[in-house]
């Protein structure tokens, strides 16, 4: 079990945020290269089609049925996610937020890196279809800031970020608190295995040079079991599935696989209880009236 998942929660003000300033600084230095498909963010560009495909299919399967009236008027081919509210936590320069907005979702991208947010806004402004609407907004903020604002969402994305926060369990709880009933939390990260060390650290950072050395700390990678355990015991969400993401060097692309020993994506849902409680209350009232 990761020490950071079992680290006692402190009462000091510094412990109220899951933000790790050193990690923010690390990625702020790379902000100007986020949209370069051949730069330091190249692995994310290769990964993006697979991430977006999985997110889209998960939303269509688990969230859209709960929001059918809101999307009935949308073009399901080009705006298939119309009516869905999404927050992309740790959005960086918007590599996922932008395509989600193009699919019709109303997206809020948040990140504590002011440099990353500036690059995200500048890039989004180049697309009139996005810039002329309110479907995509960016905010320099942590998940705690959004939680304190009282906002909630159909979909909460936490992609390649949990391994960079100061308090993973706290971060998971706060992300879970942003999920509406009938919504989902979708998380992606690297597993803490020998394979992830060889491929994610040695190969990606030291051999292939995909990422700057020191981008990741293998000891901070959470296992799917650890993430699911925190979600199950400390939030109101239900872990649904964990799928692996594997890179094919011959095709130069990623795909969804069964094994989660390197990269994985995990989905957790928040059950709809309001309608059920209302139905139970109505049934109780009817029984009371009948007995009278």
Indicate the annotated binding residues for S-adenosyl-L-methionine. 51, 90, 111, 159
CATH value at residue 170? 3.40.50.150
Note the pLDDT of residue 64.
Answer: 87
Number of domains in the chain: 1
Question: Domain for residue 162, yes or no?
Answer: yes
Question: Domain for residue 8, yes or no?
Answer: no
Handedness of CA 45, 50, 51, 57 (dihedral sign): positive
Question: Domain for residue 5, yes or no?
Answer: no
**Number of C-alpha atoms within 13 angstroms, CB side, residue 111?**
31
Question: Both tokens of residue 75?
Answer: 């073009």
Cβ atoms 47, 208 nearer than 8 A: no
The total of other beta-carbon atoms located within 10 Å of residue 206's CB is 11
CA pair distance 236, 278, nearest whole angstrom? 19
Question: Domain for residue 276, yes or no?
Answer: yes
Global pTM reads 0.86
Question: Domain for residue 11, yes or no?
Answer: no
What does the pLDDT look like over 175-220, one tens digit per residue? 999 999 999 999 999 999 999 999 888 987 788 777 778 788 999 9
Indicate the annotated binding residues. 51, 90, 111, 159-160, 163-164
- Comparing CA positions, the residue from 148, 138, 25 lying closest to residue 89 is 138
What does the pLDDT look like over 240-286, one tens digit per residue? 999 999 999 888 899 999 999 999 999 999 999 865 554 455 544 55
Return contacts of 35-43, CB within 8 angstroms, 24+ apart.
Answer: 35/93, 35/95, 35/119, 35/123, 40/210, 40/211, 40/212, 41/92, 41/93, 41/95, 42/210, 43/204, 43/210, 43/211
Residue range of the domain that includes 160: 17-291
Question: Domain for residue 55, yes or no?
Answer: yes
Question: Domain for residue 202, yes or no?
Answer: yes
Chain-centroid distance, C-alpha 24: 17
What share of the chain has pLDDT > 70, as a percent? 83
Question: Domain for residue 98, yes or no?
Answer: yes
Indicate the annotated binding residues for Mg(2+). 160, 163-164
- Across the chain, mean pLDDT equals 85
């Amino acid at each position: 079990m990761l020490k950071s998942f079992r680290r006692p929660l402190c009462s000091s003000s510094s412990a109220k945020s899951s933000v790790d300033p050193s990690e923010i600084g690390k990625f702020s230095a790379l902000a100007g290269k986020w949209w370069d498909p051949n730069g330091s963010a190249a692995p994310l560009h290769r990964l993006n089609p697979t991430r977006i495909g999985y997110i889209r299919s998960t939303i269509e399967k688990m969230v859209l049925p709960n929001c059918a009236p809101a999307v009935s008027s949308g073009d399901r081919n080009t705006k298939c996610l119309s009516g869905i509210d999404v927050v992309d936590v740790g959005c960086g320069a918007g590599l996922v937020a932008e395509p989600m907005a193009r699919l019709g979702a109303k997206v809020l991208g948040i990140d504590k890196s002011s440099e990353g947010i500036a690059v995200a806004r500048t890039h989004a402004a180049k697309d009139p279809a996005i810039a002329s609407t309110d479907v995509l907004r960016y905010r320099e903020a942590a998940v705690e800031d959004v939680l304190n604002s009282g906002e909630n969402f159909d979909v909460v994305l936490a992609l390649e970020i949990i391994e960079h926060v100061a308090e993973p369990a706290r971060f998971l709880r706060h992300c879970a608190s942003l999920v509406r009933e009938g919504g989902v939390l979708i998380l992606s990260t690297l597993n803490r295995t020998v394979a992830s060390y060889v491929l994610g650290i040695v190969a990606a950072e030291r051999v292939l040079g995909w990422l700057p050395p020191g981008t990741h700390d293998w000891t901070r990678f959470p296992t799917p079991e650890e993430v699911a355990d925190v979600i199950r015991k400390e939030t109101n969400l239900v872990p649904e599935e964990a799928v692996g993401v594997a890179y094919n060097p011959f095709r130069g692309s990623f795909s969804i696989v069964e094994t989660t020993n390197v990269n994985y994506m995990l989905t957790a849902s928040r059950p709809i209880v309001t309608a059920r409680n209302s139905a139970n209350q109505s049934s109780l009232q009817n029984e009371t009236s009948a007995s009278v």
